[in-house]
Amino acid sequence: MKSVAVFVVLCLGFVNANLKCEHKIPDIPQAWIDMDNSCTNVVRDHVLEELKAALQYLAMGAHFSRDQINRPGFANLFFKAASEEREHAIKLIHYLLMRGQLTSGVTGLINNYKLAPNVTVWTSGSSALKDALNLEASVTSKIRELIKVCEAAPAFNDYHLVDYLTGDFLTEQYEGQRDLAGKLSTLEKMTGQHGELGEFLFDKELL
Amino acid sequence: MKVVLAVFAAILAVASAAEECYTDVVETCNNPSLKQEGVLTKCDAQYGGIVSAESDLQKLANSLIHRSFDFLLMATHYGNYIKNRPGFEKLFRGLSDDLWEDGIESVKYITSRGGQMNFKNVHESLAADAGSLELYELHSMSKALDIEKSLAKQVFDLHKETANHRVDHYDPEIGHHLEEKFMGKQKETIRKLAGHAKDLGNLLNEERDPSLALYLFDQYLQK
């Protein structure tokens, strides 16, 4: 009997000497976590959309940096846009964290293999600007879809998220689109008569 | 005699390589049909070992981008209200930002040497590593250390390739780029993470519940 007790004590001692790699999971009330699942899911999906856009811009930057293309101004514009899209993804992640989300399923939030851009070659600066403008338009329409889902959940109209998406995200989308459309218009006019020279000069403006 | 011939041949080869663009221009300008196409194909930025190193450089850039997202997810995990460890979140977010910038710089570097980026050319080690990134503190620190070491190994392997004295591989400029942009920084990061892992291991090797030690370590990481 004694030896059993000693054995148990030894075992406890052994367990206690081990590394404590894990801490306890606290019990927090859940009433404050009020986002509807359908809404959370579409916002999670949109994180990936923003990162896809980031990689698409990175591909544009890579293309215009090439020695055989040599449009450093365009490359500069697109590399900057890539980092901005990544910032948008991070802003959405921070929003979800603030609302008590992302306590599980974080690993599946970004699938690297879905991010690689499909289009990596452009025939001209103007064709890339057109693609960029269309990309922004598609992101804008996806944000509008998010808003629809998040205000339509039967039990919970997510006013706060909708306000955030409308005020912050949509404002940036519309301003960005106007900027791209303006640039494209100027470039089209410059290249109309002067082709290569127009694009060369416009590229230097973007530096 | 043989040696002299070899040297002569080498000089000829160098001379012709150096004149490729000029020759191309002369040929194109003198040939009406080529002139019509108006395309010079030999005037590029490639020299040294870029052609043979291009694929590995693409893989390195993709690894940097991919790993920057892994660190972003690790930071995200520590930012949720249950983990609530702003210090760990800051550490991993910092690693993510660094790798993202390095990824972009690597893409620019490839093009600076006359190469092209390919976002689908992924290093084998990435496909093999698809575990969960939602980890306890000590686990995540060890994971971060392993990731940084795997990137450092990729840089070393590439450096070795470019130090290969075969004519089409040798490229001290790529080696220099890797040394300057990666090696010093990676050394610092790896040392820092190893120190953190060691400290955490010691702090958690106590009889008490680790929560207070983890809290204090997180406070330290926030500074």
In DSSP notation, B83-142 reads: T--HHHHHHHHHHHHHHHHHHHHHHHHHHHTT----TT---HHHHH--------HHHHHH
Question: Taking CB atoms and an 8 Å cutoff, what residues of chain B touch A40?
Answer: none
Q: Give the C-alpha separation, B40 to B30, whole Å.
A: 13
Q: Which residues of chain A have pLDDT under 50?
A: 1, 4, 6-16
Contact A103 B117 (CB under 8 A): no
How far apart are alpha carbons A45 and A145 in whole angstroms?
A: 12
- Contact status of A48 with chain B (Cβ, < 8 Å): no
Record the tokens describing residue B54, joined without a space: 């291009």
As a whole number, mean pLDDT of residues B65-86 equals 98
Tokens of B13: 């080869």
Compute the distance between CA of residue B26 and CA of residue B100 in angstroms, rounded to an integer. Answer: 44
Question: Cα B13 from chain centroid?
Answer: 33
Residue range B87-100, pLDDT digits in tens: 999 999 999 999 99
pLDDT band at B3 (very low <50, low <70, confident <90, very high): low
Question: Is the per-residue pLDDT at B65 higher than 70?
Answer: yes
Tell whether the model's pLDDT for residue B12 goes beyond 50: no
Residue B163, chain A, CB below 8 Å: the answer is no
Report yes or no: A73 at the B interface, CB cutoff 8 Å. Answer: no
CATH classification (class only), A37-205: mainly alpha
CB contact under 8 A, B116 and A62: yes
pLDDT of residue A66: 97
pLDDT given for residue B13 in this prediction: 47
Contact between B159 and B179 under an 8 Å Cβ cutoff? The reply is: yes
Distances (CA, A) of A97 to A170, B155, B197: 21, 35, 26
pLDDT of res. A2: 53
Contacts of B110 in chain A (CB under 8 A): 62
Residues B116, A66: C-beta atoms closer than 8 Å: yes
Where in chain A are the domains? 37-205
Choose among A108, A103, A101: nearest CA to A37: A101
CA nearest to A102 within chain B:
B80
Query: Pick the residue with more confidence: B131 or B49?
Result: B49
User: What integer pLDDT is reported at residue B79 of this predicted model?
Assistant: 98
- Kindly report the CATH number that applies to the domain delimited by B50-222: 1.20.1260.10
Please check the confidence at residue B32 and state whether its pLDDT lies above 90: no
Q: Are A148 and A80 in contact (CB under 8 A)?
A: no
First CA to last CA distance, chain A: 84
Residue B46 annotated in ligand binding: no
Q: Is A31 on the interface with B (CB under 8 A)?
A: no
Known binding residue A145? Answer is no
Given an 8 Å threshold on Cβ–Cβ distance, is A102 in contact with B207?
Answer: no
Is the CB of residue A157 less than 8 Å away from at least one CB of chain B? no
Q: Would the pLDDT of B10 be above 60?
A: no
